[in-house]
């Protein structure tokens, strides 16, 4: 299925290429080498390796014309991974046209495979629903699969109204048997089911309105279509669970994201209400909200921001919800130096069962075109019913060297 998708995408690419007038071309990209070290062997016997190595490449081609009012972008992505063959994967992150139209530039159109980000908070991305998560890339949910879409936006002085049509659905990718960050059973991608008879060809819609009113940034959205979050259930054979299967229900979601930007303190809130067409699934509401407070800069120009965010989900922990009553407390240290050095560190604490997880990310430039990233996460005092239980043996540290060209 994934292969077919790629072939179709390449078809769109050759079409796009034939449309190109040769000027204002930009070619760039990055190659990264990644090493991971796990503190323990994994919970399953196949996860017996403590080290893992991976390589990735993501070139990017851009063509702009009409004074930058129109643009075609092509960004393929490929990752090779040593231990988990599922994590060796390719994707087209972007292959699209964006352009402003009309005399006044009041309209904007986007068509192709693309990525759209919604939201304001740091520790969870609740309202960001358009793209499927590339769960093989990391556990923070920030890596996304390219999403076929058509968007038309009406731009206003301080905001816009976007209508997005999503003609094809991307299934979430899951780790293979040797991969980390997975449940005791692997997900069998051949067993995937959909509520819609049209399966991944169900046409999804989204409507979003954004507006800035002084210090306040407001976003309201409505999404109708295939849920990006699968419902996982065991496949039983001879009375024994042998794997998991993913089921994608139909949903209607309403959401709000708000940010108030004060000079020193930024307040943030994301709120969603999700209703399922099939009453077997429980409708729910969830929120993440908090603040980021910037302390006065040090003499050398470096600065610290303190972040606190609270997570709530009306379903509670019962149905495998990680952030049902949790707090994230952390800080961002920005050196404002020549190397662009940064450190982000913090802890998630489950207020119900006291499960804790510490996470840190640091990065800086290294000479010309190189960047180094260090990332680590550890899981502690994990409650038996907490969804993070399956990650308890996956404490890791990751070093990544990126070369930009």
Partner 1 sequence: MLFKQTLSFSLAVAFLGLSFTAQAKAPVENAQQKGLRIAKEGDAKDIGFGDTTANMIMTLKNRAGKTSRRVISIKTLEGKGDGDKSLSLFNQPADVKGTAMLTFSHGLKPDDQWLYLPALKRVKRINSRNKSGPFMGSEFAFEDLGSQEVEKYKYNYLREEACGQGWKCHVIERTPAYKYSGYSKQISWIDTKEYRPVKVMYYDRKNALLKTLNATGFKQYLGKYWRPSMMSMVNHQTGKSTTLQWSNYKFKSGLSARDFNKNALAR
Site string for partner 1, 212-231 (x = CB under 8 A): x--x-x--------------
Q: Could you tell me the two tokens for 230?
A: 């699968």
Q: How far apart are CA 321 and CA 318, in angstroms?
A: 7
The percent helix, strand, coil of the chain (3-state, each to 5) is: 10, 55, 40
Q: Could you tell me the two tokens for 185?
A: 């059973």
Residue 199 DSSP symbol? G
Query: CA end-to-end span of the chain, whole Å?
Result: 32
Residue 298 DSSP symbol? P
Q: By CB under 8 A, which span of 9-17, 104-112, 241-249, 353-361 interacts with partner 1?
A: 104-112
Residue from 339, 352, 381, 385 in contact with partner 1 (CB under 8 A):
339
Q: Does 67 bind partner 1 (CB under 8 A)?
A: yes
Residue from 22, 197, 279, 338 in contact with partner 1 (CB under 8 A):
338
Q: How far apart are CA 312 and CA 390, in angstroms?
A: 21
Q: Does 359 bind partner 1 (CB under 8 A)?
A: no
Q: Does 28 bind partner 1 (CB under 8 A)?
A: yes
Main-chain dihedrals φ then ψ at residue 10, nearest 5 degrees: -65, -30
Strand pairing partners for 387? none
Q: By CB under 8 A, which span of 155-163, 181-189, 272-280, 343-351 interacts with partner 1?
A: 155-163
Give the nearer residue to partner 1 in terms of CB position, either 343 or 380.
343
Give the nearer residue to partner 1 in terms of CB position, either 355 or 398.
398
From the CB of 294, what's the least distance to partner 1, in Å?
A: 4
From the CB of 66, what's the least distance to partner 1, in Å?
A: 11
Is residue 100 within 8 A of residue 67, CB to CB? The reply is no
Strand pairing partners for 219? 210, 257
Q: By CB under 8 A, which span of 3-11, 225-233, 298-306, 378-386 interacts with partner 1?
A: 298-306
Q: How far apart are CA 398 and CA 54, in angstroms?
A: 11
Q: How far apart are CA 276 and CA 315, in angstroms?
A: 13
Q: Does 371 bind partner 1 (CB under 8 A)?
A: yes
**Where does this chain bind partner 1 (CB under 8 A)?**
28, 30, 64, 67-69, 71, 98, 100, 104-106, 108, 115-117, 119-120, 142, 153, 155-157, 159-160, 210, 212, 215, 217, 259, 261-266, 294, 296-297, 301-303, 336-340, 365, 368-369, 371, 402, 404-405
């Amino acid at each position: 299925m994934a292969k077919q998708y790629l072939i179709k995408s390449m078809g769109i690419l050759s079409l796009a290429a034939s449309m190109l007038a040769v000027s204002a071309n930009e070619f760039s990209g990055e190659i990264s080498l990644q090493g991971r070290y796990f503190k323990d062997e994994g919970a399953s016997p196949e996860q017996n390796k403590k080290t893992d190595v991976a390589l990735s490449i993501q070139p990017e081609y851009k063509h702009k014309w009409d004074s930058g009012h129109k643009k075609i972008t092509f960004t393929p992505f490929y990752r090779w991974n040593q231990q988990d063959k599922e994590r060796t994967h390719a994707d087209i992150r972007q292959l699209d046209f964006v352009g402003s139209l009309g005399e006044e530039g009041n309209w904007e159109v986007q068509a192709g495979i693309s990525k759209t980000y919604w939201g304001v908070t740091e520790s969870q991305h609740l309202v960001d629903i358009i793209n499927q998560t590339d769960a093989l890339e990391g556990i923070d949910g920030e890596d996304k699969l390219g999403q076929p879409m058509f968007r038309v936006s009406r731009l206003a002085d301080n905001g816009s109204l976007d209508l997005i049509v999503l003609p094809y659905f991307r299934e979430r990718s899951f780790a293979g048997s040797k991969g980390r960050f997975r449940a005791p059973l692997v997900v069998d991608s051949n067993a995937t089911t959909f509520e819609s008879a049209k399966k991944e060809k169900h046409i999804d819609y989204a409507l979003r309105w954004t507006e800035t009113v002084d210090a306040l940034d407001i976003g309201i959205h409505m999404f109708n279509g295939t849920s990006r979050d699968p419902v996982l259930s065991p496949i039983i054979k001879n009375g024994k669970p042998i794997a998991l299967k993913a089921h994608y229900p139909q949903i209607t979601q309403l959401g709000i994201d708000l940010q108030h930007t004060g000079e020193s303190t930024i307040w943030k809130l994301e709120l969603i209400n999700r209703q399922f067409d099939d009453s077997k699934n429980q409708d729910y509401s969830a929120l993440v909200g908090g603040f980021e407070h910037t302390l006065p800069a040090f003499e050398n120009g470096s600065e610290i921001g303190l972040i606190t965010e609270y997570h709530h989900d009306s379903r509670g922990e019962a149905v495998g919800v990680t952030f049902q009553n949790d707090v994230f407390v952390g800080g961002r240290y920005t050196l404002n130096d020549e190397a662009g050095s940064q450190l982000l560190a913090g802890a998630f604490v489950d207020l119900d069962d006291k499960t804790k997880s510490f996470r840190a990310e640091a990065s800086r430039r290294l000479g010309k075109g190189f960047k180094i990233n260090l990332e680590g996460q550890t899981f502690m005092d994990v409650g038996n019913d907490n969804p993070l239980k399956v990650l308890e043996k996956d404490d890791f540290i990751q070093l990544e060297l990126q070369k930009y060209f």
